[in-house]
Amino acid sequence: MHASVTRKPEARPTTAVPPALAGSFELPTRQSGATFLDLATPTISDLGERALIERITARLGTASWLVVGPGDDAAVVAPERGALEVWTTDVQVEGVHFDRRLSPPDAIGHRALAVNLSDLAAMGARPRAALLSLVLPAALEVQTVDGLLDGFLALADRHRVTIVGGNISRSPGPLIIDVTAVGSVRPRRILTRSGARPGDEVYVTGRIGDAAVGLASMRQGGSAALAAQETRYLRPDPRVRAGMLLGANRAASACMDLSDGLADAVRQVAAASRVGITIEADALPVAPEVRLWNEQEGRDPIQAVLAGGDDYELLFTARPAQRGRLRHVLKHLSDLPVTRIGIVTRDPRTVIRAAGHEQPVPEGFSHFE
Ligand SMILES: [Mg+2]
């Protein structure tokens, strides 16, 4: 957490109470007669690095297993007895993953943690700790950082994730939030992408296509009719409980989250498992307003839903012989629909079947296109 390529030795704190999040801001604090309180919307440059770090760390909780927390050079964490650790990292870059004109600060903070928790969920892990790196433009308003933390910490609290450390640096351009999350899982409960076998059934949690339509709607100024879809884009709900239950009950043979869309996940699981997958278009859990909106926009509603990312649902496969285990999981997920959408095949192709016709599952989103 406290090692960073942007950190310089002279930025190291020299007071008796070192900042918990090491940084290299070198922000000029305002030297004029204006005090912080005089400013209507103070920036982090007005506040200064030390005060910003203290402002953030004052909000962080702790845990019994956190032996050395924020304030030292690195965090020291006691492992969970009998469990393996699951590590993941994911970054949110302004202009690539979010637009500050569309996403309020708390939604940006929420999403930065949610995308990581979604990856832990896809492995069947219980989230435990996270590291937070903020790379911030000096002109960013303090209230924006407060808002980021509001969303980030509310989601952390809901899933009992402890922020064990982090880093702050100045950005010459975009706002960047980089998060590393760690979870724990018993060895026999791990979910991977590679366990699907021919004959397994393919399922997806929740609804798909919501987030892509929500984002498109906001880009056009927003719509009351698509408020639920906009919320699904802004504040995705990582399926942590579903992933943990699938793992704990050994109900899934393979699992992956839908960060880059259903089509991408289907192709990834099929490739990792060296099998094919056939998806039934009619079975896809799509909200009527999403179907309608895609039709009105002149998009093929099936292709749009397959390609649309950001839903953060789980795609998983399950052996038909173990439906009892899955039923047990579903009983504990009463508020989350789970839909069977297809079948794993020996034929290695990934296809979608609609109205009796089969076509290849389209390529997913790529960050470099
Ligand atoms: Mg993932």
- Answer whether residue 33 shows pLDDT above 50: no
pLDDT class of 363 with cuts at 50, 70, 90: confident
Within this chain, do residues 159 and 219 fall inside the same structural domain, yes or no?
no
State in Å: Cα 205 to ligand 1 middle.
Answer: 14
For ligand 1, the distance from its centroid to the CA atom of residue 100, given in whole angstroms, is 24
Number of domains in the chain: 2
Give residue 13 CA to ligand 1 midpoint distance, Å: 37
The pLDDT tens digits for 67-115 are 999 989 999 999 999 999 999 999 999 999 999 999 999 999 999 999 9
pLDDT band for position 21 (50/70/90)? low
167 and 65 in a single domain? The answer is yes
90 Cα–ligand 1 center, Å: 9
Cα 15 to middle of ligand 1, angstroms: 41
How far is ligand 1, taken at its centre, from the CA of residue 111, in Å? Answer: 14
160-171 tens-digit pLDDT: 999 999 999 999
Range of the domain at 211: 191-360
Cα 40 to ligand 1 centre (Å): 41
Query: How many Å lie between the centroid of ligand 1 and the Cα of residue 109?
Result: 18
Please give the pLDDT value at position 102.
96
Enumerate residues with CB within 5 Å of ligand 1 (an ion): 119, 257, 259
331 vs 327: CA distance, rounded Å: 6
Say yes or no: 214 and 313 in one domain.
yes
How close is the Cα of 257 to the center of ligand 1, in Å?
5
Determine contact, residues 39/185, Cβ cutoff 8 Å. no
Query: Ligand 1 centre and the CA of 121: distance in Å?
Result: 9
Q: How close is the Cα of 303 to the center of ligand 1, in Å?
A: 21
pLDDT bucket at 148, cuts 50 / 70 / 90: very high
Q: Do the domain assignments include residue 73?
A: yes
> 89 CA distance to ligand 1 centroid (A)?
10
Residue 30 has pLDDT above 50, yes or no: no
- Cα 221 to ligand 1 centroid, rounded to whole Å: 30
Supply the CATH number for residue 320's domain.
Answer: 3.90.650.10
Instruction: Say how many Å lie between the CA of residue 118 and the centre of ligand 1.
Output: 7
Residue 70 lies in a domain: yes
Instruction: Give the residue from 188, 216, 247 where a domain finishes.
Output: 188
Chosen domain end from 168, 188, 208: 188
* Ligand 1 geometric centre to CA of 119 (Å): 5
367 within domain boundaries:
no
